Structure 1
Amino acid sequence: MEDPAVALIQADLDCEAFQAGCREGRWRVVAFAYPRLDFKIAAIKPNGTPTECGFRADLTNYPAVAPEVKLWDLENDRQPVGAERPQGGQRTTQTFKIWGKGTVYRPWDRQTGPHSNNAATKPHLAWNASRDLTFIFEDLHGILVSNARPLAAGAAA
């Protein structure tokens, strides 16, 4: 018998908002074999160069249990080190810092939510069973392209 989470995850991956992000090049799924989801999110380096960042998510008991998401070098099957990690402003640095079990530092993450009471102090970013994968992908995409904002401001000056 297939885990019911598989159908819920597939529904999230098939929904229009998620598919729009794929069509627009904001993100893409690399592989899905429950409970693991490997994906890439479009990013902008501090020098303005477009790139992608890889991630590995554990979606065990989804959506009742928050996903656990790690920054992941999908080509070499390991966590990125040093300069391989996203660089940028404070929000980027905080999100992708090395800590605990190596997950991204966002209140919706399984490990981060309970840490320092993050989920309670940031309920607008906390995981709950009504959230979907698009919520996570949009959050990560916003952080990873935030380096474009200073570039756009400089170009307008």
Structure 2
Amino acid sequence: VNQVDSTGFHMIEQLASDCKDRGISLFWSMVKAPVRKVLLRCNSINILERESFFLSTEEALQSALVLLGHQTVLPRAPHHAFPSTCRALSPLSVCHPERPAPLDANLIEEHADLDVATGDVAVKMLEALVPGSPNSAGRKSPKKKSPVG
């Protein structure tokens, strides 16, 4: 998405407000700079938080895991989308901490039957990262893919 209009902003604002009312944290990843600026500039009710914007989905997921109490997941600081979110030396400097280690590809299995709109992919990724987590209770473990020969 390269731009957002007022209708899109109001829908995002309503989603964020509903999630906040239910105690659900939203993490935004790969939001382009022009869209981020509009979202935060128009944020009259302070629903969207700067700390919830990340440069990659991986970093957003890792931060979500830390929020869930898995403190050892982040070996290094995540790349927040806003430099002022990081503890940079100067407000004008760009924050580029070391990137976190990539997720282990063996933990994440592609599922053609998952609906991205319902969040199934993110849940499946979290379950793969945190075996035995509350989300994985009662669900079958993903089958490992056989090597292609």
TM-score, normalisation: structure 1? 0.31
Bigger share in strand: 1
User: Which structure: larger Rg?
Assistant: 2
Name the structure, 1 or 2, with higher relative contact order (CA <8 Å, separation 6+): 1
TM-score, normalisation: structure 2? 0.32
